[in-house]
Structure 1
Amino acid sequence: MSKKDTEKETAKKAEETAGQKPEKAADQKPEKKAEEKPEQKAEAEKEQKTKKKAEQTAETEPEQSPPEKEEDDLRGQLEKTSAQLAAQKDLFLRTAAEYDNYRKRTDREKTSLYADTIAEAVAKFLPVYDNLQRALAQPDCSLEDLRKGVEMVEKQMGETLEKFGVSAVGETGDPFDPAVHNAVSHVEDENLGENVVAAVLQKGYRLGGRIIRHAMVQVAN
């Protein structure tokens, strides 16, 4: 083999060798990482478990308010309730005082009205009483004069009652009415109808629609 052929052969082998180097590099396995020590691995696993447990606890347990916030809320509610209670107490005391004043004022008005009514009634009857005293003061009085005096007093008394709205009830011949009459006896009388007032033994009196005293009567048939 000539020198020239030898050089060609050498160059060819060099090219083949250069083309095979990348394949070997690709086929070469990566270097293994340094293996962790058992203590480090156990510590890492422990931290991972602790972190996971904390996350689960945060998800399951509700968020709690700080004690300071709860105390402030309770204090605020207590102050609000105390203010409402004080306002209600003040309202109760004022209402009770107003009612007591109203009751006292009403009692005074009733007493005053009653006294005024009595005074007005007595004032109207005083003239009748005055005439009776004048009649009794006469030294010499005939029977006829006495009769006339009594008739005058009786008339004056009736007029005074009318001023109060009082009217007499119960007349002979009226139909018997238990709401107005008080029957004390019964008689048979062909001249009168059935259940009719035969005689009035005592007059009754009415004030407006109210019976002050029932008429005492005798009822026929």
Structure 2
Amino acid sequence: MEDNKEMINEEIKTEVVENEETTEKESVVNDESNNEEKVETSEGSESTEEDELDMIKKQNKKLQEELDTTKDTLLRLRAEYDNYRRRSIKEKEGIYSDAYVDVVKEILPVIDNLERAIAADGTLEDLKKGVEMTMKGCQDAFSKLGVEEIDATGEFDPNFHNAVMHIEDESLEKNVVAEVFQKGYKKDDKIIRHTMVKVAN
């Protein structure tokens, strides 16, 4: 009987020892597995961080290229605008200069006639005729330049007339031009000089 007990005890011990060894092996295997997972997780997080860093670098490079392109475009536009402004100023000056030349060309014949009239010996009638010819030359020059005399007859119009005097005259209607003191001139719709008039009240 004691032999049986000893045998049973030995079997129990053997089972316990085997169970302990199995538990230790499982523990070692679990530890190794956990360590491998930790290493894999660590490697995975390092890989993810590198990918994010690469992506950020690429985005940064792309944004820098876009910024450089925008700066270049802005500089070109600024240079083009400056050139355009200079050209416009030069063209404007050229237009004014050409206009002055055109006006002087039209007035020169009038001056020539006045010089001839002064140099000529003649009667009062000849002088009057010379002044009339000069006046005609001025009118022709104005006509070529598109300058017209402002009509001063009829109702007073502040857009064309400058009233310097008012009179009471029953023979005239109210607000009518009674007399012209100085003729006015215009070119197209632009007033060069208003007609100076006397207006009836």
Which interval holds the TM-score relative to the shorter structure? 0.7 to 0.9
By how many angstroms is 1:88 displaced?
A: 1.6
**Aligned mates of 1:65, 1:108 — CA distance in 2:** 66
Partner of residue 143 from structure 1, selected from 124, 135, 138: 124
Partner of residue 201 from structure 1, selected from 181, 185, 190: 181
Is 1:156 aligned to residue 144 of structure 2? no
1:218 match? 198
Is 1:192 aligned to residue 180 of structure 2? no
**Aligned mates of 1:106, 1:51 — CA distance in 2:** 81
**Aligned mates of 2:107, 2:156 — CA distance in 1:** 32
Amino acid in structure 2 at the alignment position of 1:196: V
Query: Normalising to structure 1: TM-score of the pair?
Result: 0.70
**Aligned mates of 1:156, 1:141 — CA distance in 2:** 20
Structure 2: gaps of 5 or more residues: 1-10
By how many angstroms is 1:36 displaced?
A: 4.8
**Aligned mates of 2:155, 2:46 — CA distance in 1:** 92
Q: Deviations over 1:118-146 (max 9, x none)?
A: 111111110001111111112x3322221
Number of residue pairs matched by the alignment: 186
By how many angstroms is 1:107 displaced?
A: 2.0
Q: Deviations over 1:54-103 (max 9, x none)?
A: 99xx9xxxx74524323322322222222222222222222222222222
Q: Deviations over 1:11-51 (max 9, x none)?
A: xxxxxxxxxxxxxxxxxxxx867125897658967986997
**Aligned mates of 1:190, 1:169 — CA distance in 2:** 26
Amino acid in structure 1 at the alignment position of 2:154: D
- SS of aligned partner of 2:148: strand
| Aligned ranges 1:69-148 → 2 under 5 Å | 69-138=51-120, 140-148=121-129
**Aligned mates of 2:146, 2:119 — CA distance in 1:** 32
Amino acid in structure 1 at the alignment position of 2:75: L
Asked whether the equivalents of residues 170 and 181 of structure 1 are also in contact (C-alpha less than 8 Å), the reply is no
Is 1:176 aligned to residue 156 of structure 2? yes
**Aligned mates of 2:81, 2:54 — CA distance in 1:** 41
**Aligned mates of 2:112, 2:197 — CA distance in 1:** 32
Amino acid in structure 2 at the alignment position of 1:147: K
- Identify the structure with the greater helix proportion: 2
Amino acid in structure 2 at the alignment position of 1:136: I
**Aligned mates of 2:28, 2:118 — CA distance in 1:** 132
Give the number of the structure whose alpha-carbon radius of gyration is greater.
1
Amino acid in structure 2 at the alignment position of 1:164: L
- Consecutive aligned runs of 4 or more in structure 1 exceeding 4 Å deviation: 36-52
- SS of aligned partner of 1:193: coil
The root-mean-square deviation of aligned C-alpha atoms, in Å, is: 3.2
